Structure 1
Amino acid sequence: MGESDLGLAAAVSIALGGMIGGGIYAVLGVVAQITMAATWAAFVLAGVVALCAGYSYNALNSLRDAHGGSVSFVQCHLGNTTLAGMVGWTLLFGYIGSMAMYAFAFAEFAIALGLPDGVVGLPMRPVVSVLAVAAFVGLNLLGAGSTGAVENVLVALKLSILVAFGILGLVYAYGFSATPVDLGLDRLTSADPIVAAAISFVAFQGWQLLFYDQESIEDPAETIRKAVYISIPVAVAVYVLVGIVTVTLVPDALTSTPHVALKDAAATMLSPYGLASLGAALLSMSALFSTGSAINATLFSAAHFAKGMLTDDLLPDHIGDAEADGVPERTVVLIGAVTAAFAAVGSLNAITSFASLSFIIIFGAMSALALRQRDSDAVHPVPPAVGAVGALGFFPLMLQNLWTREPGTFYMVVVIACAVIAVEVLYFEREYLEREVARIEATVPESVDSD
C-alpha cells in the first residue's frame, strides 16, 4: 500500500461527495412537484434500486480482471467493444447532464442571493450557468484538484449543513408550527412516487465514480464494496430528512419556486429566532458551494473517464490526446462546452430527466450483466434482479411522465438520444460502413455500363 492510497473514510467521502449536496439542491423541487408529501418514498425507492445496482457493480468487480467500471465489465464479460463503447458514451452524457443540472441549480441560487433575473432583456439564469461551467473548466485546465483529506472535510461540511437543516426543520415543525408532518401515505398507492424515484435517480450516481479510480484506493475491491454500502444508505437518509422537512414547511414554495424551495424552508425554520433572512442567505450560499463543487468534481471525473475511453479507442482521437499528462485539455473544453449548452437551453426538468435516464440505462444494464453471472458464488441473484427490474420499470414510467406532463421535454430527450445513438453507430461501425460504401461504389459503374 502506498502512502497516497485512499482508505475507507476517503472512499466514502468520494461516493457521498458525488451524491450529497449538488443532487439534493437540484432535484428536490422536481421530485416534490410530482409526489409532494411522498417525496421521501421516492428517494427510498430510488436508493433501493441504486443499492442493488451497487451490489451488481461490486459483484462484477470481484469477478475476473474487470476492474474499471461499466465499460470494463462489458468488455470483460461480453467481449463486445461496440456495446462497451456505447455504454461509455451513455455514461459520459449522463455526467454531462448531471453537470448541467448542477449549473442550473447554481444559477438559481445565485439569483436567489440577489443577482437580477435579467439584464437589458437578457435572462441571467442561462448566463450564470454558462459562466459557472466555464469557471470550473478553467480550474480543471489549471490542474486544480482535491486530496482525500480535503474531500473528507468538504463532504463533512455538506452533510453537517443538510443534517442541521433537517433537525432545525423538525424542531420548527413540532415546536412552532401547527402543521403536522404529512408523510403522504395516501399517495403510496399511486404511480407518482415511482415516477419521482425515476427522475431522482441521477442523485444516486456518485458512488460508481469509485470504480474508475481503483489504483489509488487501498485494497480496492473490499474498500469500494464497503464504501458503496455505507454511502448510499447515508445519502437516502439525508434526502429523506431534507425532503420531509421541505415539503412540511413550504409546500407552497415547492409549487411556486420549486428550484429554490430549500431557501424558503431555511428562512421559515429560523423565523422564530428573527434569523429568516440569514437562514435563506446561508442556505443559498451552501447551495452555491455544493453545486459548484459538484460541477468541479464531476468534470474532473468525467474527463478522466473520457481519457480512459480515448486510450481504448472508444472515442475519436480529435476529442483529446490519450497520451497527455493528466486530462487532455481538448477533452475538458469539449465536455464543458456541451455541458454549458445543455445548461443554457434546457429546463431543469429536461436536464434532470435526461441525466436520470442515462444512469437508469447503465445501472439496469450492469444489474442485468451481474444477473447473467448468478451461477458464480460471488453473485446472489436477488439484488441484481431487483436492480434490473427496477430500472426496467423506471424507464417507461419516466418516458410516460414526460410525454404526459412535458411533451416538449419528451421530444427533446428523444431527439438527443437518437442523435447520440446515431453518432455511436457511425463511429463504432465505421469500418463496416466504409467497406459497404466501397462495395456499393464499385458496383455502380457496372450497373451504368449495362444500361
Structure 2
Amino acid sequence: MGESNLGLTEAVSIALGGMIGGGIYAVLGVVAQITMAATWAAFVLAGVVALCAGYSYNTLNSLRDAHGGSVSFVQCYLGNATLAGMVGWTLLFGYIGSMAMYAFAFAEFAIALGLPDGIAGLPTRPAVSVLAVAAFVGLNLLGARSTGTVENILVALKLAILVAFGILGLAYIHGFSAAPVDIGLDRLTSTSPIVAAAISFVAFQGWQLLFYDQEGIENPVETIRKAVYIAIPVAVAVYVLVGVVTVNLVPDALTNSPHVALKDAAATMLSPYGLSSFGAVLLSVSALFSTGSAINATLFSAAHFAKGMLTDDLLPDNVGDAETDGVPERTVVLIGTVTAAFAAVGSLNAITSFASLSFIVIFGAMSVLAFQQRDKSAVHPVPPALGAVGALGFFPLMLWNLRTREPATFYMVLVIAGAVIAVELLYFERAYLERKVTRIEAVVSDSVDPDN
C-alpha cells in the first residue's frame, strides 16, 4: 500500500472499496432474479454471515502471532501445511472468480454506453472483458497503485453516487409512483432469499484483504477490527438501499436486462427532471469506474497473496519468483490469464456462483477455527457458530440452485473443484506419493526378478 502506515479511515476505505467497488454492479441483477422484492433480505442475511466471519478473522488475528489471513491462521492454529495450501488455492480461485465477475459487469456497462453488441458476427462482451483484464494486468506490471488518500476519495465518490441513487430513487417512488414500496414480505417464508444471499456472498469478501497488508497499517489488530465492523454494515446498508430502489423502479429490467438494471433505474428516477439520459450515462460511467478499480485492486492483492504462498512453498516455483521486489510479474500475468478465460467463457450467474462458493468455504472454515478457540476468554462462541452454520447452510443451497437452474454450470463447478483438489493433493503430498511409488516399484522389481 505504501511505506507510511494507514489509519482507520484508510482501512475502512480499503474494505469498502473491496466490497462496494464492483460488487453491487455485478451481483444485483443475479440476486434480484432469484428473490426480486426480497433482495434486501438476501443482502442482510449475507451481511450477517460475513460479519460473523469478520469476527472470526479478528479473533484469530488477535489471539496469536498469526497475522496474514486465512492461510496463516491454518498454519498457526492447525500446523497443517497441506490444508493451509488448499485454503490458499481456494482463495486464489475465489479472487479470480471475483475479477472475472467484475470484468463481465465492466463489459456489460460498456455496451450499455454505446458499444455494439457484436462485431463481424462475434459477441462484443467477452472481448471487452478480456481487454479490461489485460489493461489492468498491464497497470499492475507498471506498478500503478493508489495511495491511501486517493483510495479515500475514490471510495467516497462511489458511495456518494450510490447513496444519491438510493435517495433519488426513494423520492421518485414517493412522489411519482402510485404503488407502495414492495419489500417482498411474502417471499421471506421461502428459501429464495437464502439462496440469493449465498449467491451474493462474493459481494461481501473485500474486507478480508486488510489482513494481507498488516505491516502497512497502524496498530493493525485494533485498526482492522474496527474497520471490519464499520465496513460490513455500511456495505449492507448501501446494498439494501440500492436493491429496494432498483427492484421497485425497474422490475421488468431486472427480468429482461438484469446485468445493467441499475442504469435503467437511474434513467427512470431522473426522467421527471428531463435528465433520463444523463442518469443512465452517469450510472454506467460509475459502474465502469467501480468495476475497473475493483479488478485492479483485487489483482494487486491476489498477486501479493500468491507471492506469500510462494514464499511458504505453497505454490509451484514456476508460478512466480518469491524473491523479486514487489509483485512477481509472472504471477500477475498468470492470474490475469486465468481471469480473462473465466470472464470470456462463463455466464455472470456461473462466475458469481463459483466465486461465492469459494468464499463460503473459506469463511465457514475460519469460523469453525475460531469456534474451536471458544475456551479463550476473548472469544465469544456465538458469532463463529453463526458464521459456520450460515456457511454450512449456504453451501448446499448454492449447489442445489446451480443443479436446478444451471445444470451445465453445476457439473462444470464439480469438475473444476475435483481437478483443483486433485492437483493440490498431488502437489502438497508429492513427497508422500514419491515414497509410495518408490516402494511399489521396488515390490514390482522384486516380483519380476527370479533371483530375489
| Partners of 1:376 and 1:19 in 2: CA distance | 31
2:418 corresponds in structure 1 to: 418
2:158 corresponds in structure 1 to: 158
| Partners of 2:37 and 2:77 in 1: CA distance | 42
SS at match of 1:420: helix
Contact 1:49 1:390 in 2 (8 A): yes
The reply on whether 1:57 has 2:57 as its aligned counterpart is yes
Shift in Å at residue 445 of structure 1? 2.2
Contact 1:62 1:378 in 2 (8 A): no
| Partners of 1:382 and 1:33 in 2: CA distance | 32
Q: CA-to-partner distance for each residue in 1:35-89, whole Å, 9 max, x for gaps?
A: 0000000000000000000000000000111111100100000000000000000
Shift in Å at residue 450 of structure 1? 4.7
| Deviation >3 Å, runs of 4+ | none
SS at match of 2:20: coil
Shift in Å at residue 435 of structure 1? 1.2
Query: After superposition, where does 1:398-437 map in structure 2 within 5 Å?
Result: 398-437=398-437
> Which amino acid is 1:284 matched to?
S
Shift in Å at residue 3 of structure 1? 7.5
Shift in Å at residue 176 of structure 1? 0.9
| Partners of 2:411 and 2:378 in 1: CA distance | 42
| Partners of 1:378 and 1:328 in 2: CA distance | 38
Alignment gaps of 5+ in structure 2: none
> Which amino acid is 2:284 matched to?
S
> Which amino acid is 2:392 matched to?
L
> Which amino acid is 1:130 matched to?
V
2:133 corresponds in structure 1 to: 133
1:235 corresponds in structure 2 to: 235
Contact 2:3 2:216 in 1 (8 A): no
Shift in Å at residue 449 of structure 1? 3.1
Query: Which deviates further from its counterpart, 100-109 or 410-419?
Result: 410-419
The reply on whether 1:83 has 2:90 as its aligned counterpart is no
* Cα-Cα RMSD: 1.0
| Partners of 2:415 and 2:173 in 1: CA distance | 45
The reply on whether 1:42 has 2:17 as its aligned counterpart is no
The reply on whether 1:282 has 2:292 as its aligned counterpart is no
> Which amino acid is 1:256 matched to?
N
SS at match of 1:143: coil
Alignment gaps of 5+ in structure 1: none
| Partners of 2:126 and 2:58 in 1: CA distance | 39
2:25 corresponds in structure 1 to: 25
2:71 corresponds in structure 1 to: 71
Contact 1:360 1:394 in 2 (8 A): yes
Query: After superposition, where does 1:236-255 map in structure 2 within 5 Å?
Result: 236-255=236-255
2:206 corresponds in structure 1 to: 206
SS at match of 1:116: coil
Q: CA-to-partner distance for each residue in 1:184-217, whole Å, 9 max, x for gaps?
A: 0010000000000000000000000000000000
Contact 2:207 2:232 in 1 (8 A): yes
Query: Identity of aligned pairs, percent?
Result: 87
1:334 corresponds in structure 2 to: 334
Shift in Å at residue 179 of structure 1? 2.3
Contact 2:5 2:217 in 1 (8 A): yes
| Partners of 1:334 and 1:58 in 2: CA distance | 31
1:352 corresponds in structure 2 to: 352
Contact 2:195 2:401 in 1 (8 A): yes
| Partners of 2:59 and 2:412 in 1: CA distance | 35
> Which amino acid is 1:113 matched to?
L
Query: After superposition, where does 1:170-181 map in structure 2 within 5 Å?
Result: 170-181=170-181
> Which amino acid is 1:430 matched to?
R
